[in-house]
Amino acid sequence: MTGGYPYPSSAGVSSKMRQQASRSTRPEVALRRELHRRGLRYRVQQAVLTDVRRTADIVFGPARVVVDVRGCYWHGCAEHGSHPRANSGYWETKLARNRARDVDTERRLRAAGWEVMVVWEHEDPVAAADRVQATVELHRPPWGPSTARRGGSAAV
Ligand SMILES: [Zn+2]
């Protein structure tokens, strides 16, 4: 697939995209590749919250940093998310729900002691990796991942 993401114009397309939602998206893969190239190790699509069924895209367990890679359209980025195309009230409602869910997920993760980073689809993967790497290194426990203590009830 080349070029930008196709925007949904029918419910059929939507259900197809919904099925793919749990898989890795292209910007996610690009970011992961860059992080991996730098020697950073992480888990993908991991459920870090115990009370709700939601997975985090990229998880740095010992540093307790999660990265949420968001599609501009589906999650309503400030630059591209406010121009719905061919969208009826149905899509408006769906997008509003996504945004509300993002806010809720972030709140829950922070409450559980995670540092939450949001990377948008439109961001350059190298620049995004710079941010992620800096944050992970800042939060990484000095004793290293192999001997990292597990704080409280958090199982990583
Ligand atoms: Zn965007």
Three-class secondary structure of residue 66 per DSSP: strand
3-state DSSP assignment of residue 68: strand
| Spacing, Cα 75 to ligand 1 middle (Å) | 9
Q: 110-127 burial, b for 16+ CB within 10 Å, e for fewer?
A: eebebbbbbbbbebebee
Whether 72 is covered by a domain: the verdict is yes
State the CATH number of the domain containing residue 126: 3.40.960.10
Q: Residue 59 is part of which domain span?
A: 25-137
Domains of the chain: total: 1
Span from the CA of 133 to the centroid of ligand 1 (angstroms):
21
Give distance in angstroms: CA of 69 to centre of ligand 1: 11
- 118 C-alpha to ligand 1 centroid (Å): 12
pTM over 0.85: no
**CA dist 100 → 61, 95, 97, 109, 123 (Å):** 25, 9, 5, 14, 22
Query: How remote is the CA of residue 74 from the centroid of ligand 1, in Å?
Result: 10
- 18: in domain: no
For residue 86, what pLDDT is reported?
A: 57
Q: What is the pLDDT of residue 154?
A: 42
- 148 C-alpha to center of ligand 1: Å? 36
- Asked whether 38 and 129 are in contact (CB, 8 A), the reply is yes
CB 14 within 8 A of CB 87: no
Regions of the chain where pLDDT drops below 50? 1-5, 11-12, 19-21, 147-156
